[in-house]
Amino acid sequence: MAAITPQELNVLIEQTYKVENEFNELKASYAHLQDTVEKVVEFLPNAIWIINSDNSVFLQNSYARELWELLKLLKYRDEDYEITFNSRSYIVKSASYKDKIMLSATDITEQKRKENLATMGQMAAHLSHEIRNPIGAISLMSSTLKKRVIPENIPIVEEIQKSVYRIDRIIKATLMFSKGVQAQKHEFKWSLLKESIDMSIKYYGYSKDIHFSFPKIDFMINGDKDLLEILFSNFIINAIDAIEEDDNEEGLIEVVYSNDESYHIFKIYDSGIEIKNKKELFEAFKSTKLKGNGLGLVLSRQIAQAHGGSVDISMNKRKYFEVKLKR
């Protein structure tokens, strides 16, 4: 074999450097591309896994790392499918390319909850419309009956009226939830609202010795009296139910009033049982009570918001709800 001349050696060395530079540029380009892909995957709103043929993870985002246990349940399929994991619902999609499989899981829990609420709201509104007419007839006939029965039977008629009142409250709450809360505001005195609350307490009925304490001062409120009657009645009735479920034969419900430059502030205390599941308090159609349709507190919060205010709960030294209404 002929010896390589110095000129040929220089050319070979130059070509070697050129190939090495091209390789380094290609390597840097690949690293940049991989970094770009990782950043894109990281910013996606769903969990993404790219799986090798040996089932090892080639690439995943941080959302996917949090759901690593979910990955064990996922399978490659030609069509999308739903799966439930840790009380959450996910829609799973998959695709393949060469020796890689991509799996994605998107949380659709909130979407399904809204769809279910819409369906339940429509059904409940339809039933409420159907029930309203016979309930109105029963209410009218019971009022007439009360005037005609012998005194010994009046308590029986009154129990019928209380039961009708409870059904009517459920119907009103359901229809209001399906239509949405619209406040028609005007100025009125707290004492007028207090009279309506007293009537609600009278018609609701309870078996224990419950003491009620309300603000003694009178003040003006700019709001929708009918809606605010529903709001306060809901809280008072919830408090009555909490006391009814308690072991003690006596109970206290106290409404404390204060204000600042912006809000009327009401704190509603009761001596009844503690709230079991705080997370479900403001979930429609979910109730933490033995009786209830799960709409009372949801509507109360919506009514407060329609008055520029809010509803919060405290369970520190004393359990109470705080209602703020814009002045």
Task: Give 260-290 pLDDT, tens digit per residue.
Answer: 989 999 999 999 888 776 666 666 555 555 5
Q: What is the pLDDT of residues 294-325, one digit of tens each?
A: 677 888 888 899 899 999 988 777 788 999 99
pLDDT digits (tens, 9 = 90+) for 197-229: 998 888 787 888 999 999 989 999 999 998 898
Average pLDDT, whole number, for the chain? Answer: 80
- Per-residue pLDDT of 172-204, as tens digits, reads 766 666 677 788 899 999 999 999 899 888 878
C-alpha–C-alpha distance, residues 304 and 28, integer Å: 59
**Average confidence (pLDDT) over 57-74:** 87
Could you tell me the sign of the dihedral formed by the alpha carbons of 267, 270, 275, 280, in that order? Answer: negative
Written out in words, the top-level CATH class of the domain with range 110-180 is mainly alpha
What is the per-residue pLDDT for 35?
A: 59
Confidence of residue 158 (pLDDT cuts 50, 70, 90): confident
For 46-107, CATH number? 3.40.1840
Q: At residue 37, does pLDDT exceed 60?
A: no
For residue 317, the model assigns a pLDDT of 75
Domain 182-327, architecture per CATH? 2-Layer Sandwich (3.30)
| HEC string for the chain | CCCCCHHHHHHHHHHHHHHHHHHHHHHHHHHHHHHHHHHHHHHCCCEEEEECCCCCEEEECHHHHHCHHHHCCCCCCCCCEEEEECCEEEEEEEEEECCEEEEEEEECHHHHHHHHHHHHHHHHHHHHHHHHHHHHHHHHHHHHHHHHCCHHHHHHHHHHHHHHHHHHHHHHHHHHHHHCCCCCCEEEEHHHHHHHHHHHHHHHCCCCEEEEECCCCCCEEEECHHHHHHHHHHHHHHHHHHHHCCCCCEEEEEEEEEECCCEEEEEEEECCCCCCCHHHCCCCCCCCCCCCCCCHHHHHHHHHHHCCCEEEEEECCCEEEEEEEEC
Q: Is the distance from CB of 108 to CB of 82 less than 8 angstroms?
A: yes
Q: What is the mean pLDDT of residues 234-250?
A: 89
pLDDT at residue number 275 = 75
